Amino acid sequence: MREETIRITTEYIKLQDLLKFSGAAETGGEAKEAIQAGEVRVNGEVCTMRGKKLRPGDRADWNGTRLVVA
């Protein structure tokens, strides 16, 4: 699994936006489908909420990539 650190300058980033911004998902639609299908884990637990707010220290796993919010 490859790990990538995503630095944000705001208080939080929504899960769907994180996948799109990081390049893990090519489009918002791809991110939406993956999240709703239960393919994405946030901090080790399956998350189906596209608008889940991720703050520094949180991590999301999908498709062999771990995204760490910093």
On whether the CB atoms of residues 22 and 8 are closer than 8 A, the answer is no
Overall pTM > 0.75: yes
Residue range 4-22, pLDDT digits in tens: 999 999 999 999 999 999 9
Average pLDDT, the chain: 96
